[in-house]
Amino acid sequence: MSAVSGVAIRAVAAATPTRVARTADYTYLDPDERRRFQKATGIAERRIVGPGQCASDLCLTAAKAALAKLGWAPDGVGALILVTQTGDQPVPATSIVLQDKLGLPQSCVAFDINLGCSSYPYGLAVAGSVMQTLGIARALLLIGDVSSRVCAEHDKSAWPLFGDAGSATALELDEGAPPIHVDLCSDGAGRDAIIIPGGGLASRRPPVDGRIVDATGSDGVQRRADNLVLRGADIFSFAISRVPGSIQRAIAASGRQAQDFDFLLLHQANKMINDTIARKLGFTSDRVPTSIEHYGNTSSASIPVTLCANAALFATPRWVVASGFGVGLSWGSATFQLPAASILPCIDTDDAY
Amino acid sequence: MTLDDFIEKFAFAIEVEDGSLTPDTHFKDLSSWDSLNTLAVIAMADADYGVTVTGRDIEAASTVADMWSVVSSKRAAAK
């Protein structure tokens, strides 16, 4: 049985920068293209960090809010796991820096996971498993990305899609908590669908900082080697063909039926993708909360951002099935219960630590 | 499930006037064609025909009739 038992979600917080970038103001698309872009993707605006703010800052703000809500002392947090693809520096892992900045004890387990859109189900599975196996009573699962920092502004296949966000999910061992059932998948044959090809050791850049030059991609867009390339059509086909099965497997593992879940939470990539997945699974739109209109595709943080952007829906205990899918290719689904009022509203912040 | 139905659905998906496409239309040469149209065609093939068309399928096709042969052969294979 693919499940994490005895781990409860206590609080979810999300933080986004205050700066708003509107689709209507994106001059690399003409007005008709902007209209069609917004209709297809559902994205009206996104939040973009200023030069001094990192994913770690957004996650830290969210973590502080979650700890404050729960009244948890920092020294009681035994694990901090950060899921990001836009860490502060290549080495050391950003989670370890956050252990210090949050004032967590040196006995705290801290490490990073390099995943994007599939972060939430993977993060719950890894954090919950570590807690259960090592007997860690309380943990913070921090998830966030600043995708705006890795996309070329003139790249209309990527730049207008992404928003920046960080999140914190507070987890606690609790024998009475219902199991979190997961379905987790990978397909590296699709690695080129979303990729930052340069900057790592496989790109054979000079061993010291060499000059990074623009290159023109097969789509005619000029990018630096350390810019993100996104092939939207490949992601679209992948998502609508393989994600519904993952969600169905997680639901089946839980022993419940689709109609037993209050909400389906989907990674916020594109409205057309999510409408298609929801239709295939028989979820009507009122059971599929979104955040894409005002926050865009917030990458790894999209599921917590969507929870927090709809915090009012979670005043009472709710059963949720959530699914993340994309870069890797990596995808997964999780079923879990959220206790009453465990979701904090989205926090606007320009704080950098 | 005829070519004529497909052309109608194709035109609706990519937001061009009904009747403006023929089987021989080279759809990627249309002035309005862009990557969003690619997504719309994939969504239409999924919703109306229950098949998954890939970006590569669309890259390889030239005419609307080419796309119909991709969709109809995938449908036949799925049955």
pLDDT per residue as tens digits for the range A8-39: 999 999 999 999 999 999 999 999 899 999 99
Phi-psi region of A328 (alpha: psi -120 to 50; beta: other; left: phi over 0): left
* Residue A40 touches partner B, C-beta closer than 8 Å: yes
**Tokens matching residue B70:** 């991709």
**Least trusted range by pLDDT, from A201-205, A251-255, A270-274:** A201-205
A170 membership: H or E segment, kind and range? strand A165-173
pTM score, whole prediction: 0.93
- At residue A211, the pLDDT reads 62
**Least trusted range by pLDDT, from A60-64, A199-203, A255-259:** A199-203
In SS3 terms, A125-142 reads as: HHHHHHHHHHCCCEEEEE
Strand A229-230 to strand A330-338: parallel, antiparallel, or no bridges (unpaired)? unpaired
Average pLDDT in the A267-287 region? 94
Percentage of chain A beyond pLDDT 70 is 97
Average pLDDT in the A205-229 region? 74
The predicted-structure confidence for B13-63, as pLDDT tens digits, reads as follows 998 988 899 999 999 999 889 888 999 999 999 999 999 999 889 999 999
* Stronger pLDDT, A111 or A36, i.e. the higher one: A111
* Residue A279 touches partner B, C-beta closer than 8 Å: yes
* Peptide linkage before A140 cis (omega within 30 of 0): no
Select the residue of B35, B42, B46 nearest A157 (Cβ to Cβ). B35
Q: pLDDT band at B78, cuts 50/70/90?
A: confident
- Asked whether B35 and B59 are in contact (CB, 8 A), the reply is no
Select the residue of A33, A232, A241 nearest B39 (Cβ to Cβ). A232
**Least trusted range by pLDDT, from A218-227, A302-311, B23-32:** A218-227
Q: pLDDT band at A92, cuts 50/70/90?
A: very high
Q: pLDDT band at A209, cuts 50/70/90?
A: low
Q: Cβ–Cβ of A270/B46 closer than 8 Å? A: no
Q: List Cβ neighbours of A232 (8 Å cut-off, separation of 6 or more).
A: A157, A270, B35, B38, B39, B55
A113-149 residues labelled b (16+ CB within 10 A) or e (exposed): bebbbbbbbbbbbbbbebbeeeebebbbbbbbbbbbb
A41 membership: H or E segment, kind and range? helix A31-41
Give the residue from chain B lying closest to A158, CA to CA.
B35
pLDDT exceeds 70 at position A50: yes
pLDDT exceeds 90 at position A214: no
The predicted-structure confidence for A119-176, as pLDDT tens digits, reads as follows 999 999 999 999 999 999 999 999 999 999 999 999 998 999 999 999 999 999 999 9
Quote the mean pLDDT of chain A.
Answer: 94
- Asked whether A163 and A295 are in contact (CB, 8 A), the reply is yes
Question: Which amino acid does the sequence have at A334?
Answer: A
Q: pLDDT band at A1, cuts 50/70/90?
A: low
Q: List Cβ neighbours of A107 (8 Å cut-off, separation of 6 or more).
A: A78
C-alpha R_g of chain B: 11
Give the residue from chain B lying closest to A34, CA to CA.
B36
Give the residue from chain A lying closest to B39, CA to CA.
A233
Q: Cβ–Cβ of B55/A231 closer than 8 Å? A: yes
3-state secondary structure of A313: helix
Rounded distance between C-alpha atoms, residue A178 and residue A4, angstroms: 9
Rounded distance between C-alpha atoms, residue A87 and residue A287, angstroms: 33
> Max CA-CA distance within chain B?
36
pLDDT exceeds 60 at position A207: no
* Residue A194 touches partner B, C-beta closer than 8 Å: no
- At residue B3, the pLDDT reads 92
- At residue A212, the pLDDT reads 64
Q: Cβ–Cβ of A233/B47 closer than 8 Å? A: no
Nearest alpha carbon to residue A80 among A64, A68, A69: A64
- At residue A227, the pLDDT reads 87
Residue written as tokens 């914190």?
Answer: A168
Average pLDDT in the A294-300 region? 97
pLDDT exceeds 80 at position A206: no
Average pLDDT in the A217-226 region? 82
As a dihedral over the C-alpha atoms of residue A164, residue A300, residue A292, residue A28, rounded to 10 degrees, the angle is: 50
* Peptide linkage before A92 cis (omega within 30 of 0): yes
* Residue A35 touches partner B, C-beta closer than 8 Å: no
